[in-house]
Amino acid sequence: VSVVVIHSQPDQDADRIDEVLEFWRNENPDLDVTTKGLSMRLRRSCRLLERAMRQELATMDVEMWEMEMLFSLRRAPGLQRSAGALLRETGVTSGAITNRLSRLEEHGWVRRDTDLTDRRQVLVTLTDAGRARANELIAVKTNAEARLYSGVPRETLERLGADLRALLTSIDQDLPGEY
Amino acid sequence: VSVVVIHSQPDQDADRIDEVLEFWRNENPDLDVTTKGLSMRLRRSCRLLERAMRQELATMDVEMWEMEMLFSLRRAPGLQRSAGALLRETGVTSGAITNRLSRLEEHGWVRRDTDLTDRRQVLVTLTDAGRARANELIAVKTNAEARLYSGVPRETLERLGADLRALLTSIDQDLPGEY
DNA sequence: GAAGATTGAGTGTTCAATCTTT
DNA sequence: AAAGATTGAACACTCAATCTTC
């Protein structure tokens, strides 16, 4: 006679990732599950939130990269940054920046001028329409974020923010600059 | 006469993101900076870690998507999953799965067979070479992770993992399934 | 020669349309 | 019809090569 045990519900908050970790720990008991679990949850949280935000923005016909560019310019002194500065803010390659700028320019959100002090550089300026658009989007994004996190205790959110800052200050040093 | 104040060094651990938050709070004092900061730090952590891991793997001529597929199959019962199951594990579209499988098949890591019980389905099996490759990669990835997180106190890492799990259990419900 | 931006080739994704099997 | 996998077009990225300006 054999008995089959069906765990009605795994303990507390065990999620799908706990099962995956369990597998690897079974394969190699010496494995450090803490760092591996953190990596997986970080990645998954990021993907889910990004997907949710993308859906949210799709209703307004906005892409993530568009927001990223518009917001960076919105924060810039004089609503203006060089293409290189935008590159460093967003962390994408120079080729990507060129493409993004062309598309933003077509929509009339930004203007491109050559810097007269150093004619190698391109100065990108947010137009009035672009500024209006940015203001509109920041509200949408903020609301969406608030809604997404509404199920988590405020205390947890604040602790997460603080701990992630600690993580960032640690790994930012080792890695090539970006923003 | 004007006085220019150069802040020698912002307080404690204020990172670049704090400056961005400061800007928006200045624009709108009612703004909830907690959720916004969390979003930004989550995204940035994820990007930085992913970039670091990608560099690490490049030395072994591996891509992230390759690892993702190999590991999912490595954990599967009988080292085998249907294409649809892989789709749900990885969260990419069916078209992407088809492409990935073709490339993995060319390298000889996996084999594709039609399921005889339901000939619509494709059963993907990890070959011996694929299994060896997966074992090799899990070691590389684990070492890289340990090194990346080495600058952060263990206590913080564990708390981060726990809090992220709480976040995931909250947002996973609202969002369309994936894995 | 080096720095900044642009171009083009190669890569990998999504999305919609299609084909096969149920 | 519906489900599962494949195909091809569109898109956005990286990387390396190029052009202009310093």
Q: Which nucleotides of C are covered by protein (CB under 7 A)?
A: 3-9, 12-17, 20-22
DSSP B161: H
Are A166 and B156 within 8 A, CB to CB? yes
A165 at the B interface (CB within 8 A)?
yes
Confidence of residue A92 (pLDDT cuts 50, 70, 90): very high
| Interface-testing mutation among B71, B168, B172, B178, with chain A (most A C-beta atoms within 10 A) | B168
Sequence-distant contacts of B131-136: CB under 8 A, at least 24 apart: B131/B74, B131/B79, B133/B70, B133/B109, B134/B70, B134/B71, B134/B73, B134/B74, B135/B74, B136/B60
What is the predicted pLDDT for the residue at B63?
A: 95
What is the predicted pLDDT for the residue at B94?
A: 98
Q: What is the mean pLDDT of residues A65-80?
A: 98
Is the predicted pLDDT of residue A179 greater than 50, yes or no?
A: no
What is the predicted pLDDT for the residue at B15?
A: 81
* Helix and strand numbers, DSSP H then E, in chain A: 7, 3
Interfacial A residues in 113-152 facing B (CB < 8 Å): 138, 142, 145-146, 148-149, 151-152
B37 contacts in A (CB within 8 Å)? Answer: 161
Residue A104 CA to residue A74 CA, distance in Å, equals 14
Are B66 and B58 within 8 A, CB to CB? no
Q: For the segment A17-48, what is each residue's pLDDT rounded down to a tens digit? A: 999 999 999 999 999 899 999 999 999 999 99
Q: Which nucleotides of D are covered by protein (CB under 7 A)?
A: 3-9, 12-17, 20-22
Give me the percent of chain A exceeding a pLDDT of 70. 89
**Structure-block tokens of residue B77:** 């019962």
Residue B103 CA to residue B86 CA, distance in Å, equals 15
CB-nearest to B42 from A20, A45, A156 is A45
Statement: the CB of A103 is under 7 Å from strand D: yes
B92 contacts in A (CB within 8 Å)? Answer: none
Residue type at B60? M
Question: Rg (Cα) of chain B, in Å, rounded?
Answer: 22
How far, in Å, is the CA of A34 from the C1' of nucleotide C2?
45
Sequence-distant contacts of B50-57: CB under 8 A, at least 24 apart: B50/A43, B51/A175, B52/A171, B52/A174, B52/A175, B52/B144, B52/B148, B53/B141, B53/B144, B53/B145, B53/B148, B56/B140, B56/B141, B56/B144, B57/B137, B57/B140, B57/B141, B57/B144
> Is B167 in Cβ contact with A152 (below 8 Å)?
yes
CA torsion sign for A104, A107, A110, A111 is positive
> Is B15 in Cβ contact with A145 (below 8 Å)?
no
Confidence of residue A15 (pLDDT cuts 50, 70, 90): confident
Is the predicted pLDDT of residue A7 greater than 80, yes or no?
A: no
Q: Which of A88, A69, A84 is nearest to A130 (CA)?
A: A69
> Is B39 in Cβ contact with A164 (below 8 Å)?
no
Residue A45, Cβ neighbours under 10 Å: how many? 23
Q: For the segment A93-133, what is each residue's pLDDT rounded down to a tens digit? A: 999 999 999 999 999 999 999 999 999 999 999 999 999 99
CB-nearest to B159 from A13, A163, A179 is A163
CA torsion sign for B47, B49, B53, B55 is positive
Residue B136 CA to residue B130 CA, distance in Å, equals 10
Are A84 and A93 within 8 A, CB to CB? no
Give the mean pLDDT per block of 10 residues along chain B (179 residues): 34 73 94 94 94 90 96 98 97 97 97 98 98 95 93 96 95 57
- Predicted TM-score (pTM) of this structure: 0.87
What is the predicted pLDDT for the residue at B174?
A: 62
